[in-house]
Structure 1
Amino acid sequence: MTETPAIPRVRAEIDLAALRANVRALRAHAPGAAFMAVVKADGYGHGMIPCARAAVQAGADWIGTATPEEALALRAAGLPGRIMCWLWTPGGPWREAVEADLDVSVSGLWALREVTAAAREAGRTARVQLKADTGLGRNGCQPADWAELVEESLRAEAEGLIKVTGLWSHFACADEPGHPSIAAQLTVFREMVAGAERQGVRPEVRHIANSPGTLTLPETHFDLVRPGIAMYGISPSPEIGTPEDFGLRPVMRLTASLALVKHVPGGHGVSYGHHYVTPGDTTLGLVPAGYGDGVPRHASGRGPALVGGKLRTVAGRIAMDQFVVDLGGDEPPVGSEVVLFGPGDRGEPTAEDWAQAAGTIAYEIVTRIGSRVPRVYANEMDESGDVDDADERAEG
């Protein structure tokens, strides 16, 4: 009996050569600034540790994460150099962060006091970056409270408990060209930085530029830029340009294997709720991926896929584990590759196409790809800087 070779149900192919090229392209947009590679949310769904390593290989000076747990995992995996994390809650792993030489962000007195206590317990100086709320209205210290936060930080610095390594903020609307909040926030940021420096802060870095700021707002680059989604080859906003416009290439290619092809008559309902009914005799293809894998249910009836060399549209509702496409009488073999999205240069849809179909942004499309989808890494580099001979490796 001949054994049938295993065909992957679904997988996310991650091209680390593309990621490294994207880092180099983004660095060229901000040649006078240090580069922070943001790898939060498991590297925007691409795999945090492999992507962080690739970014460092391409010249990233810093690595940025949201949570301290992400930053500690990077350090435990052997990532050297500067790692910053910014989303803290009371009782967080402050001492572990201090002992791991992370740069931690502080937006209020409660956080400053917790990191100061952790530094005293650890017997080490904590690296602290003060975050200003310049108008986003999310994390960050309000201008009215800034002087007090700076003053207490300087007292802790005088005791040797902390070192204020950075002053930073985040834009609300940098992905909307010409939005008045951009100039307003930049003015507030300059004022808050100047105020902190008048009080005696001597930061290593001042930073506010995210992906759109890095790409289109050179006046926002200061000492460091923090690209996130652009590093993965996705435009932060279709309004400001396509990936190609900025010399970027999408890093993730999401594929599945066709699980079934069958003939059905006209008038046949498809998937839950029968929101799609076949208009005539046709063939249906079953794609074994669904919202349990991160395929957005909101794209039901609209999501695109490349099957048998032709663009198809999701027929009916996307279910937890599968969806259906109407093949219009074509009969591609079972096991044929289905490309949900990729760079788009071979006729396949892109993450932006799925975002449009689901009424969301491409950030969400790639970040939501679930943990049961294995990531297969291509073009990894070994310690010598050569591309690994085994050019694909699966994780997950």
Structure 2
Amino acid sequence: MNETVAPAGAELRARAEIDLAALRANVRALRERASGAALMAVVKADAYGHGAAACARAAVEAGATWLGTATPEEALALRAPGAGVPDHVRVMCWLWTPGGPWREAIEADVDVSVSGMWALEEVTRAARLAGRPARVHLETDTGLGRAGCQPGGDWAELVAGALRAEAEGLLRITGLWSHFACADEPGHPSVAAQLSRFREMIAYAEGQGLDPEVRHIANSPATLTLPESHFDLVRPGIALYGVSPSPAIGTPADLGLRPVMTLTASLALVKQVPGGHGVGYGLHYVTPGATTLGLVPLGYADGIPRHASSAGPVLVEGKWRTVAGRVAMDQFTVDLGGDLPGAGAEVVLFGPGDRGEPTAEDWAQAAGTIGYEIVTRIGSRVPRVHVNEGSGT
């Protein structure tokens, strides 16, 4: 097992172990679902909290030919020499604002998204300065109501402008794309409506002379459940990391996926207290009788959701325990029910579930949120320890 060295001493407090063998297996499983389409591994937000560069390399080893990011800075980091991403792998970013580093992205061979005329004007200006054409994906709003060009006159104007810029040699239209609103809700009527609108907008663009390399709309849930949405490229994100997009679709095991992150900490203190002892800010938990308390040195500054106060589950010496009282900034307490593990004993907050430990979905339910947020919010004070590096597993 190869392991990235954590900062000295940090492993004594907490660590997020990232199993790259599990990530590679997830990529392979998703490729099998992709109906022959290419796969873009979405590694935005530091690979959903798992470490972007290491996860990008592992995804490529397992067959991903594209990498997806939100911000240009994320994309440029993957193009940096130290990231280890092969030059032939396409990198795309889609969350642009006026004045962004368009020229740097063009020079780094990053595919960029354009969903309005202001962005088309900025990217063509940057292409002139760079002296090379930009690789551009035109984004359509098929019903999500976020980024993307509206159907009708707005789409016609954007397509016409992009074709003029392509004729001038300022860009290459490499993609047409959109994003689902409710693909994680099986049978939701918006899914079919968005697919129909996407096909119509593609047909219009291609009828005007566009010849994109890829057309793509499928996110994780669509990759897993909607083969008719796969087109030329699928864009799984959360599924890469072994977290189900939605309980309605199934558990990770149901989907052939394995959770990649295991979050653990070491007990900082174990002490005996009498009944009636208050615990934590606000004293929202009071011991029902004589017991032992364990102090877990992680808090909301590390990404442990405060909304999981009195609800978040952990595994200590083979037993499930629950957060006792409020989650504080740097720590929380569990009632150990009289057990006396030593200081330094391992606390498993979540993982694959192999040892009976909670999963990210258990924490999501405790906090009233989604699994995406649980793994993505784990903060920088928790070192990521990447294991099973290398393509052999």
Structure-1-length-normalised TM-score:
0.95
Contact 1:18/1:250 (8 A) holds in 2: yes
2:267 pairs with 258, 267, 284, which one? 258
> CA shift at 1:208, angstroms?
0.3
Alpha-carbon distance in 2 for matches of 1:114, 1:148: 16
Residue of 162, 165, 177 corresponding to 2:171 = 162
Deviation, 1:40, is 0.2
Alignment correspondent of 1:394: none
SS at match of 1:317: coil
Which of 351, 361, 364 is residue 342 of structure 1 equivalent to?
A: 351
Post-superposition CA distance 1:44-67 (Å, at most 9, x none) = 000000000000000001000000
Partner of 1:391: none
Give the equivalent residue in structure 2 for 1:57.
Answer: 61
What residue in structure 2 maps to residue 236 of structure 1?
A: 245
Q: Which residue of 2 aligns with 1:390?
A: none
* Aligned residue number for residue 137 of structure 2: 129
Q: Which residue of 2 aligns with 1:118?
A: 126
* Code of the aligned partner of 1:109: M
Moved over 2 A (4+): none
Letter in 2 for 1:374: P
Q: Please state how far the C-alpha of 1:8 moved relative to its aligned partner.
A: 1.6
Alpha carbons 2:35, 2:230 under 8 Å: kept: no
Which residue of structure 1 aligns with residue 74 of structure 2?
70
Corresponding position: 1:22 with 2:26? yes
Matched, 1:298 2:307: yes
Per the TM alignment, residue 31 of structure 1 is displaced from its structure 2 partner at its CA by: 3.5
Higher relative contact order (CA 8 A, sep 6+): 2
Offset, 1:78: 3.7
Give the partner amino acid of 2:141: D
Find the residue that maps to 2:12 and give its secondary structure: coil
What is the TM-score of this pair, normalised by structure 2?
Answer: 0.96
Match of 1:206 among 205, 210, 215: 215
Which residue of structure 2 lines up, in the alignment, with residue 393 of structure 1?
A: none
- The question of 1:108 aligning with 2:112 is answered no
After TM superposition, give the deviation of residue 272 of structure 1 in Å: 0.2
The answer for the alignment partner of 1:83 in structure 2 is 91
| Structure 1 partner of 2:6 | none
For the residues of structure 1 that align with 2:258 and 2:331, how far apart are their CA atoms? 28
SS at match of 1:318: coil
- Cross-structure match for 2:41: 37
Residues 161-182 of structure 1 show CA distances to partners (whole Å, capped at 9, x for unaligned) of 0000000000000000000000
- 2:341 corresponds to which of 323, 332, 335: 332
SS where residue 68 of structure 2 aligns? strand
Name the CA distance, whole Å, in 2 between partners of 1:344 and 1:275.
Answer: 29
- Structure 2 CA distance for partners of 1:6 and 1:36, relative to 1, 3 Å: closer
- Maintained 8 Å contact 1:308/1:332: yes
Which sections of structure 1, spanning at least 5 residues, go unmatched?
388-396
Offset from partner CA, 1:149-198 (integer Å, 9 cap, x none): 00000000000000000000000000000000000000000000000000
Percent of aligned pairs with the same residue?
A: 79
Q: Deviation string for 1:281-336 (max 9, x for gaps)?
A: 00000000000100000000000000121000000000000000000100011100
> 3-state SS of the aligned residue for 1:316?
coil
**Separation of aligned partners in 2, 1:373 and 1:136:** 34
* CA–CA separation in structure 1 for the residues paired with 2:175 and 2:35: 19
Find the aligned partners of 2:11 and 2:197 in 1 and give their Cα distance. 55
How far apart in 2 are the matches of 1:244 and 1:332? 32
Determine helix, strand or coil for the equivalent of 1:90: coil
Query: Closer, same or farther in 2 for the Cα pair 1:302/1:94, shift >3 Å?
Result: same
Q: Which amino acid aligns with 1:283?
A: T
CA–CA separation in structure 1 for the residues paired with 2:84 and 2:348: 34
In the alignment, which of 268, 279, 285 is matched to residue 270 of structure 1?
279
Q: What is the 5 A alignment of 1:160-199?
A: 160-199=169-208
Instruction: Quote the Cα distance in structure 1 between the aligned partners of 2:151 and 2:322.
Output: 50
Give SS of 2:164's match: helix
Task: Output the CA distance in 2 between the equivalents of 1:247 and 1:314.
Answer: 31
Which amino acid in the other structure matches residue 201 of structure 2? Answer: M
Alignment match, 1:97 = 105
What CA distance in whole angstroms lies between the structure 2 residues aligned with 1:285 and 1:82? 48
Shift of residue 386, structure 1, vs aligned partner? 4.5
* Structure 1 letter corresponding to 2:76: L
Per the alignment, in what secondary structure is the counterpart of residue 124 of structure 1? coil
Deviating more after overlay: 74-83 vs 198-207: 74-83
Alpha carbons 2:270, 2:340 under 8 Å: kept: yes
Shift of 1:32: 1.1
SS of corresponding position for 1:194: helix
- Contact 1:101–1:127 (8 Å) recurs in 2: yes
1:10 is aligned to: 14
Deviation at 1:6, TM superposition (A): 7.9
Gap runs ≥5 in structure 2: 1-8
CA distance in 2, matches of 1:117, 1:56: 32
Aligned with 1:225 (options 234, 237, 256): 234
Give the aligned residue type for 2:257: L
1:315 alignment partner, SS class: coil
> Paired residues, what number?
380
In 2, Cα distance between equivalents of 1:237 and 1:386: 31
1:365 aligns with 2:374: yes
Across the aligned residues of Structure 1 and Structure 2, the Cα RMSD in angstroms comes to: 1.0
Equivalent pair of 1:7/1:335 in contact (CA under 8 Å): no
